[in-house]
Every structure is written in structure tokens, then in C-alpha cells.
Chain A
């Protein structure tokens, strides 16, 4: 197998202060093959990708590309040697045109007109329609990804790295993407496919290398294994089952009627006449592809943005015009997606971060004067009950790992005894253990009689937690459906299907 390996890594290691991000990583990618790199968040996938793309230099180890030693000093060198990368968090420039974005990712871009022609050719060949003159800010997530793919393809890569490409796509859109990748592989381009989604890896990838804690733990043909087996390799142990028992829907707690809202930013989405009912003891799952109004919905419910009178009511009381503090007092709490910078202030200690949202409900600052001892003991309770690994309550939020900070953020709201809790992406970028703990805490909260809204892009999470499911698509909310018996395919269609994308030239 190694004689037709297009890429080989041997003994790659990279240490950051306190973490061994990559530890003696060895694997090879065969020519014309879709090779999956599978691992949890924090397993070392992105460090490995950055190493191959010349953004990080390994402490030890060597790489070969096409039989030659390969040690890129920077991305220019990596591209010149034939590596293309489609970034997970798009490396695009919002206020610039598609053509300019593509030119920025090429080392010797042709003149404007010729570049436009080449973009057109590639678009046609791979069924990726794109207008080079449009601004990135006006494109959907799927279209933005196309820009990234075309940019990478224009460099004629021998190895194309796709970093978690389907996290912004509906299942139908992902199918179209895989058709494109299959076509590329058929033409001889090798693809290194980074993901933690087991099902798509099992159906579409030829080979899988599994990373855990910075090491390669296994290498296999993913089709020979069940999703559960792959998950066990990835997590290193049996998966924990979640206890969904003990919930009985009660009376309606939160009523949203005809909620409309302008977008938060130029690349945000407006909410269009949204309505929903949330009952006591219920978990309402709201799914959607990133950028379809999730941020706006959370901000409207948390009170960061006020809406027209009568649009949001908690236990019959109008909340629409109230700010976050008043809503917290009434029992409507929220935990936003972005942990550092939205849910928590990075440079603040955990005590200070607790004060930020828990002061009104826990009476931590009567009349504005902070009760330090009370704030501290509340923080300690969150740390203890949610198993937050931290040197102490005075540690800065930014010093915690993603999973621990997320446990703190969720715990801070859950322990305030909310009537309704709204969470956005509660387990995004969190290791499996922390994710399971957070999900269980949300279910327990509902079992205790509170209403919970979970907004997420992780469909499996939504099916696991939700009693009813709604899809958020382009700022519109679908009617809720019971999650029992709902298939991923049906959900995909609720999320807008392929958004009019065409599956051009499939298996041409």
C-alpha cells in the first residue's frame, strides 16, 4: 500500500505548553482515496492539519508528499507542493468579492479576467455554481464553502484536506459534497477528510485513521465497523447512555408569537414571524444549519435584543420589552453558543463570571454592592456540582478547557433554578464526557419541571434530548414534530433539503 501513498507522516509530534497536541503520529494516504481522520475535539486533528498546511512546525517527525520529503515553512510552500485546504471556520473575507477571495488564496493568481474564466470552468466541471462578482457577506454557508473548495482546487492539489466540511451543511447538501469529492478522488486527487461524524465516514470514506489524545489509536476500513465501534475507538471506552426518564409535559411556560427581528450583523439572518410553545417538563429541540437565525433567536429570548410587545411571554407575563436582568428575575435564562466572549468574559475569574449572570437571581449584589462571599460560594457550588476542573474559583475563564468552561456556563444557569432555559450549541467543541454530563443536566432540569430549549446543529444531540423537534431555516421555524420515529432524512428535508443546490455531474 505504501508504494502508491501520496502522503506519509512519520512520528509527527507537537507540544504546546501543558498539552502534547500531536504525539508520534504516523499514517499514510493512498492516491485517489478518501481518507478520514477521525477524532474528538482536542484529539489533535487541527494541529495535524496546520502542520501539513505549513501553519505549524512539528517539534519532531517527517512528512513525504508524492515520494519527496515535505517540510513546508508556510502555507505558500505547502500549496506549491500540492496541498489544498478547505478550512473549518472559513478563511474568507466578508466584504470582498468571490474572485478577490480566491485570488488571495493563490500564490500567482492570473489576471482578473482569466481568473474569472478559470473559476467558471471549475464551477462547471464539479457542479459548484458560483458568481465571482458577488460579495462573500451575501452568500449562504454552503456557497461560502464552495468558494473555499474552488480556491483549493485552483491550486491543483494532489492532497486536498477538508476540515469538518459538513458541519455547515444539511444532510442533502453533504451528499452533494461527497459526490464532488468522489469525482475528485476518481480523477486522482487524494482527500484527507477530517470529521467526527461517524455515519458519513462509514458511508463515504475508504480508510480511517483514528486519533485520541494526540495519538493514532487505530487505522481501519470504516466500512468494516459499526458506528458504535468507531465511537468507542474515538472516545476510548464505552459510550455512556443517557437517562431520559421522568419527564411529563405540563402547562405552557413560554409562548412566542409572531416574533420577527432584523439580523444582528451584516452576515446574520432575520427572524421571520416565529412562533412556538414550550411546556413545563419538556425539551424542545431546534435544529438548523449554522447562520439560519440561531444567534438571533437566542438573543431575542435572553433579552439582549428586545422585540415587539406581546411576542414573548413567560408564564403569561410579557417579556418582549425587558432586558436580560429582568428576564432572569422572572426565570427566563439562557446560555449562548460562544463560551469565550459571549457566555463568559475571558479575562474574568469564575467568580466574576458567575456574578455577571447570577447576581439578580441569587441576590449576589443587593443594591449593586457585591456580596463577595455569597458569589464565591455560588461559584464553588457550580464547580462542585458540575465537576468543573479548575484550580479554583479565582481562575480566569480563558484558562479553562472548552469542556470545563462549558460545564461552568451551563451549570451557572442550571443552578439558578430557571423556569425556562434556552441553550445554543450546548456541547459544541466539548469532549464526550463533558457532553454527556451537560446533556444529562439539561434532561434532569426538564425532569424537575422546567422547560428547556436546545438549539443545536448536532442532529443526533437534538434527537437524543428533544421531545419535539423544530427546524430553523432562513429565519423561519417549522412546526414541531415529536422526535420519536423522526429520521435524519426527514430532518434534512425540514432543514431546507439541498437549498436548491444541484447535484451536477454526479459520477460523470
Chain B
């Protein structure tokens, strides 16, 4: 009937786009920046990656291009918020809307095209899934053990103090935003290249927003992001299984499950912590007075 190994593999796969996007956003938010445009960066990565994979026949090149594209579009946000000091919430929203529009515009020729197939890695698990899993301890190490990670956290915690000690606030933040864009791009490409195997307009379907919620859920910790991504992967798989099993609940209502689960998770985590784990300067504009 239900083979636990295959269910776990499905869960891993469903969790991967969220894992990438949320790990990227984790770094962004740890630097004190709130980039709400994850959805836009993901969908950009999904299309750019798909197009590159289709053109070269090599999905791995697709993922590399997705990372570059995600990073490139995140720079719009980076320049607006770091150099032109625009409001982060509004700019992030604009990025989400812009990414959706841009990909709808340029994605038309790819509709109905099939993705090139890709060799699986060890244990019949996709290489990108492995990469995502490897990123978790790497990011933990970066944040907790490396010098650059320490400075990044310091900037996110109190940008005025970090500036007074001579650390380059805008530079670190711009780098973090770019990294977040690249990670979101890979996450989006995983959806188009590795799971759905084709391009459709708006195919990320809110995954970027769920990734944002995951960062809150994680308490801004790398392993917390992993736990959250698996939880949501689990909900998604369960929902698909129930749909397939044909239980007596309308399909449309079952499809709400990931979104409702996100809300419930947010409520539970926020009630427990009252938001105190958030970086101290999150979402605030930094402008040196000298």
C-alpha cells in the first residue's frame, strides 16, 4: 500500500523548493532585511532555469542559470532598499508582483515543453535535494562559526552598533540579498525542472510566501528551517495522497491544506515566542548619519 520510503522521498522532494528559498531568506533576514519578494525570485528561477535546461539539455546548467537569474532580480530589491532606501515591505511586494508578470510575459514559448530528464544522485535522490540538505549545516556553520556570519548577525541585530564598529552594513546586506535571490531561484527551478517537469504561469503557487513563514517558524535558525520544510513537505504529500485516495472532501478544499497549515504554524510559533527571536533591526532602513 503506502511504502514509507517512497513517502519519505516524496516529502523530501516536496520540501526542497521551500528549503532553498527559506534558507536564502534566513540569511537575508539575519542581516536585518525583510525581502517579501521570495515568490517573485522563485518564479524567475523557475522560468530561467527551465529555459536554460531546455536550451542546453542539461538540468544542472538550468539550476546554475536559475541561481544567477534569482540573484539578478533580487538586485532590483537590493539597490532600491540599500542605496535608494526604499521601504522594504513595499519593495518586496513589488518584486513579487513584478517577477510573476515578467515570467508570464517571457514564459509563453515554453508552455507545454517538457523538461529534459536528469540523472538521480545517490539513493535515487535528486542531486539538488542533496545540495539542499547540505546547505543546512553549511548555513548553520556560516552563521554560528564564521567571522563573516558573526558580522552579518551583528548587522541584523543592531545596524547602528555594527556601523559604529566599522562594519559595512549596506555591503553585507546587498550580498545577503543576492544570496537569498540565488537560493530562491534554485528552489523555483526545482519545481519546474525536477517536480512538475514543465513550465506553467504562476507555478510556484505561493511557495515563496510559505518560505517566508517558514523563516518565522524556524526561529531564524537553519535547522529550524529544515524541520519546517519537512513539516510542510509532509502536509503537501499527505494532501496529495488524500486526493489520490479519493476521499469525500472536495479537491479544492484539500488543496487549501498547505496554506492553512502555514497559518496554523505561524500562530502556534508566534504565540509561543511573541516574535522576540527576530533580528533586532529586521525591516528597518539604515542610513548612516555622518
- Chain A interface residues toward B at CB < 8 A: 50, 54-56, 74-76, 78-79, 87, 90-96, 100, 103-105, 109, 266
Which of chain B's residues 142-171 have a Cβ closer than 8 Å to chain A? Answer: 147, 150-151, 153-154, 157-158, 160-167
Identify which of B147, B158, B290 contacts A55 (C-beta below 8 A): B290
Which residue among B157, B167, B276, B280 has the maximum number of chain A CB atoms within 10 Å of its CB?
B157
Q: Given the complex of chains A and B, what is the CA–CA distance between A79 and B166 in angstroms?
A: 10
Q: Given the complex of chains A and B, what is the CA–CA distance between A91 and B154 in angstroms?
A: 10
Q: Is the CB of A109 within 8 A of B147?
A: yes
Q: How far is the CB of A97 from chain B (nearest CB, A)?
A: 11
Q: How far is the CB of A265 from chain B (nearest CB, A)?
A: 9
Which of chain B's residues 49-64 have a Cβ closer than 8 Å to chain A? Answer: none
Q: Is the CB of B167 within 8 A of A104?
A: yes
Given contacts A55-B164, A104-B162, 4 further A-B pairs with CB under 8 A are A50-B290, A78-B166, A93-B280, A104-B151
Which of chain B's residues 253-279 have a Cβ closer than 8 Å to chain A? Answer: 276, 279
Residue of A nearest to B167 (CB): A104
Given the interface pairs A56-B290, A109-B147, the reply to whether A74 lies near B153 with Cβ below 8 Å is no
Q: Given the complex of chains A and B, what is the CA–CA distance between A75 and B290 in angstroms?
A: 13
Cβ–Cβ < 8 Å partners of B279 in chain A: 95
Residue of A nearest to B157 (CB): A93
Q: Is the CB of B280 within 8 A of A94?
A: yes
Q: Is the CB of A91 within 8 A of B157?
A: no
Residue of B nearest to A79 (CB): B166
Given the interface pairs A56-B290, A96-B157, the reply to whether A104 lies near B276 with Cβ below 8 Å is no
Q: Given the complex of chains A and B, what is the CA–CA distance between A266 and B157 in angstroms?
A: 14
Q: How far is the CB of B94 from chain A (nearest CB, A)?
A: 23
Q: Given the complex of chains A and B, what is the CA–CA distance between A108 and B236 in angstroms?
A: 47
Q: Given the complex of chains A and B, what is the CA–CA distance between A95 and B147 in angstroms?
A: 17
Q: Is the CB of B165 within 8 A of A104?
A: yes
Identify which of B150, B166, B167 contacts A100 (C-beta below 8 A): B150
Q: Is the interface of A mostly helix, strand, loop or mixed?
A: loop
12 sampled A-B residue pairs with Cβ under 8 A: A55-B164, A74-B166, A75-B166, A87-B164, A91-B158, A91-B160, A91-B165, A92-B161, A96-B154, A103-B150, A104-B165, A109-B147
Residue of A nearest to B161 (CB): A91
Q: Given the complex of chains A and B, what is the CA–CA distance between A290 and B227 in angstroms?
A: 41
Q: Is the CB of B158 within 8 A of A94?
A: yes
Which residue among A54, A56, A90, A105 has the maximum number of chain B CB atoms within 10 Å of its CB?
A105
Q: Is the CB of B150 within 8 A of A104?
A: yes
Given the interface pairs A96-B153, A105-B165, the reply to whether A266 lies near B158 with Cβ below 8 Å is no
Which of chain B's residues 84-136 have a Cβ closer than 8 Å to chain A? Answer: none
Q: Given the complex of chains A and B, what is the CA–CA distance between A420 and B232 in angstroms?
A: 56
Q: Given the complex of chains A and B, what is the CA–CA distance between A92 and B162 in angstroms?
A: 8
Cβ–Cβ < 8 Å partners of A104 in chain B: 150-151, 154, 162, 165, 167
Residue of B nearest to A108 (CB): B147
Q: Is the CB of B280 within 8 A of A75?
A: no
Q: Is the CB of B165 within 8 A of A75?
A: yes
Q: Is the CB of A75 within 8 A of B161?
A: no
Residue of B nearest to A106 (CB): B165
Cβ–Cβ < 8 Å partners of B151 in chain A: 104
Identify which of B153, B154, B161, B166 contacts A54 (C-beta below 8 A): B166
Q: Is the CB of B165 within 8 A of A95?
A: no
Cβ–Cβ < 8 Å partners of A87 in chain B: 164
Q: How far is the CB of B147 from chain A (nearest CB, A)?
A: 7
Which residue among B151, B164, B165 has the maximum number of chain A CB atoms within 10 Å of its CB?
B165
Given the interface pairs A55-B290, A104-B162, the reply to whether A95 lies near B280 with Cβ below 8 Å is yes
Cβ–Cβ < 8 Å partners of B153 in chain A: 93, 96, 100
Residue of B nearest to A57 (CB): B290
Q: How far is the CB of B220 from chain A (nearest CB, A)?
A: 10
Cβ–Cβ < 8 Å partners of A96 in chain B: 153-154, 157
Residue of B nearest to A75 (CB): B166
Q: Given the complex of chains A and B, what is the CA–CA distance between A478 and B153 in angstroms?
A: 40
Q: How far is the CB of A256 from chain B (nearest CB, A)?
A: 28
Cβ–Cβ < 8 Å partners of A55 in chain B: 163-164, 166, 290
The 3 tightest CB contacts between A and B, nearest first, are A75-B166, A91-B161, A93-B157
Identify which of B147, B164, B276 contacts A91 (C-beta below 8 A): B164
Q: Given the complex of chains A and B, what is the CA–CA distance between A50 and B166 in angstroms?
A: 11
Cβ–Cβ < 8 Å partners of B166 in chain A: 54-55, 74-76, 78-79
Cβ–Cβ < 8 Å partners of B154 in chain A: 93, 96, 100, 104
Cβ–Cβ < 8 Å partners of A79 in chain B: 166
Which residue among B151, B153, B163, B290 has the maximum number of chain A CB atoms within 10 Å of its CB?
B290
Which residue among A50, A75, A93 has the maximum number of chain B CB atoms within 10 Å of its CB?
A93
Cβ–Cβ < 8 Å partners of A54 in chain B: 166
Q: Given the complex of chains A and B, what is the CA–CA distance between A125 and B131 in angstroms?
A: 49
Cβ–Cβ < 8 Å partners of B161 in chain A: 90-93
Q: How far is the CB of A246 from chain B (nearest CB, A)?
A: 44
Residue of B nearest to A95 (CB): B157
Residue of A nearest to B154 (CB): A104
Q: How far is the CB of B151 from chain A (nearest CB, A)?
A: 7
Q: How far is the CB of A16 from chain B (nearest CB, A)?
A: 9
Cβ–Cβ < 8 Å partners of A100 in chain B: 150, 153-154
Cβ–Cβ < 8 Å partners of A90 in chain B: 161
Q: Given the complex of chains A and B, what is the CA–CA distance between A94 and B158 in angstroms?
A: 8
Cβ–Cβ < 8 Å partners of A266 in chain B: 276
Residue of B nearest to A105 (CB): B165
